[in-house]
Amino acid sequence: MNRLKNRIPRRCASRILISWLILAALARSGWTVEPKIQRIDFVGLQRMSKEKAAEAFGLTPGSALRLEELSKNAQALLNKLAEAGHYFSRIDSIRYSVSADSSQALVCVFVFEGAPVVQGDLSLQGLDSLQQSQLGGRFQSRPGRPLDPGRIQDDLDDALNQLELRGHPFCRFDLHSLNLDSLDENRQALTVNWKAALGPRLRLNEIQIAGNRVTKKNVILRELRLRPGDIYDPRKISRIRSRLTKLGYFQQVEEPQVFWTQGEEGGLLLRVVEGTASRFDGLLGYVPASGSQKGYFTGLLDIALGNLLGTGRALEAHWQKRDQKTQDIKLAYWEPWIAGWPVSAGVSFSQLIQDTVYVQREFGIQFSAPLLENLAIIGQLASVSISPDSIGSYVQGLLRSRTLTASIGVEYDSRDDRINPHHGVYYSTSVQAGRKKNHGPSEVIVLQEAKDLINNKKIFLDLEWYLPTLKRQLIAWSLHGRQMKSSEGTLPLPDQFRLGGARTLRGYREDQFRGAAVAWSNLEWRYLLGRRSRVFLFADGGYFSTQSKDVQHNAFKLGYGLGFRLETGLGMMGVDYGMAQGEGLMNGKVHVGLVNEF
């Protein structure tokens, strides 16, 4: 639909009289210095002030007089007059005089404003009286106001949007007539009549999907939240692309295309390009020698099998070696859409061997259910057991225990890409309540005067924000917090949170710090090299608080450095070089990672 202003007859004649003979004579006489305007005057203005006219004309006292630019100045003034409703204005002539020494000039612009054109009636034909009343009541164009084609176009766009919300995706307005009437000798009114072509009130009886080689059709259909026969709703259609993209199965999802078949029947066409839903993530770290301690390697392996057999199910396996004597493993399975409802659930098992002193095992059941488009409720039930060896029990005072926990929280995610986001926000917070029972050794329980039953509470907070700045650049900022409150006087080592390493506080060893409360923040400036590649500078800050007996220790640590993520034939390669606060350049920690998608 072309804009209305292209259809309004505008007899804006501009008769600018510039004496080229004088210009040539001045050039021959050696006028090499541009004269400065001493005064500029406008003759014929009735409604527009001379100050606004001078501002639009672009010449003010003291500015240089350039004859070759006078035509541009005149057109700028005519455009300003048209914005004020004077569509029949014209400039009769521009006269100027130059002083004998060519240093100063007087300019006089003769203007004919013409009668202003105001808005007349704006009618929509082809609609019933109720539709005309509802749509017309939303118009910002009012009879008697200065004519503004842009405002009329906005009103028509709003009317089209309202009709589309009522199930008419193919509606349009055709210009029926334009009438210019003289209200009086000083005003004219433009009446615009549009004829509406509503088209069918479309029912989506068919949904076609193209490009899904692995993902089953029913897996895609259930994410659309549409049923056969639903009336077309642009709000639902606009959410489809975002929903399918967040699944992580597709490399590209095109905007849905609406088509009409017959009568009031139609459908949707979805085109997708499947990506790699599974990944292999490897991370290698090296801790340099310090004093008598030799340097050693740390490592991490993550294997995630997503969209198993095209069903949307997921399986994950995790292994990590934190230091020379500590390692942990984790297995998890995720089942989406339980019993046909948009509720997902999973089971998990993890085991941590800490310094060969104790073994921690956890069995968990998780669930997630959507509340709003980007907001979900999350929860977990878990059983955690601690099994120390004799050294852990009798030397470090660790007790055999089992804790039953339940957590509930919310999760918000508006990121455009989960691997390499360009913009968006991720937020998650949850509260966990647990009941712990100590099982022995009995002599250690008596010695430590430990309680048999203990109540625990944990709070989790995660926030990520991605803000685009300049071209191919963005700021990535995150804030994370963990806190545990317990009826125990001194929190045992297995119950404390860990801090440090590639995923929390770079520049420090993996899990170098522990505490009942930890918090860390990561700030990165990123320069995007491609869809998945980037280089960045980072600054990390971390806080931990721990208490032993009656002594509480708090500390804040800083880390900084640089790194890159590079998409290669082997996968996504990542290298971070981080330096801890107070350490030299050669004492930094190197974190090397490789993510292979398949």
How high is the pLDDT of residue 338?
A: 92
Q: Answer whether residue 540 shows pLDDT above 90.
A: yes
Say what the pLDDT of residue 480 is.
98
DSSP H or E segment with residue 57: helix 50-57
Q: 104-162, pLDDT tens digit by residue? A: 889 999 999 888 888 888 888 888 888 888 888 888 888 888 888 888 899 999 999 99
pLDDT at 361: 94
**Quick one: tokens of 284?**
């290698």
- How do residues 245-287 score in pLDDT, each as one tens digit? 888 888 889 999 999 999 999 999 999 999 888 888 777 777 7
59 or 183: which leads in pLDDT: 59
pLDDT value for 597: 67
Residue 528 belongs to what H/E stretch?
strand 517-528
Provide the phi-psi class of 472: left if phi over 0, else alpha when psi is between -120 and 50, else beta: left
Q: Of the candidates 291, 271, 251, 131, which has an alpha carbon nearest to the alpha carbon of residue 201?
A: 131
Q: What is the pLDDT of residues 336-348, one digit of tens each?
A: 999 889 999 999 9
Question: Which CATH class for the 4-112 domain?
Answer: alpha beta
Q: Which pLDDT score, from 0 to 100, does residue 12 have?
A: 36
The pLDDT of 577-588, averaged and rounded, is: 85
**Contact of 56 with 90, CB cutoff 8 Å:** no
- CATH architecture of the region 279-597: Beta Barrel (2.40)
Say if residue 473's pLDDT is above 50: yes
Is pLDDT at 503 greater than 50 in this prediction?
A: yes
Domain boundaries, the chain: 4-112, 117-197, 203-274, 279-597
Three-point CA angle 139, 144, 147, nearest 5°: 70
Average pLDDT over residues 25-44: 69
203-274 matches 117-197 in CATH topology: yes
What is the topology classification, in CATH, of domain 203-274? Ubiquitin-like (UB roll) (3.10.20)
pLDDT exceeds 80 at position 384? yes
**CB-based contacts of 294: which residues, under 8 Å, 6+ apart?**
none
* CA distance readout (Å), 580 to 118, 387, 509: 69, 34, 10
Taking domain 117-197, whether its CATH number is 3.10.20.310 is answered by yes
Which pLDDT value is given to residue 320?
A: 87
Per-residue confidence (pLDDT) for residue 453, from 0 to 100: 86
Is the model more confident about 517 or about 530? 517
Rounded mean pLDDT of the chain? 85
pTM greater than 0.75 (yes/no): no
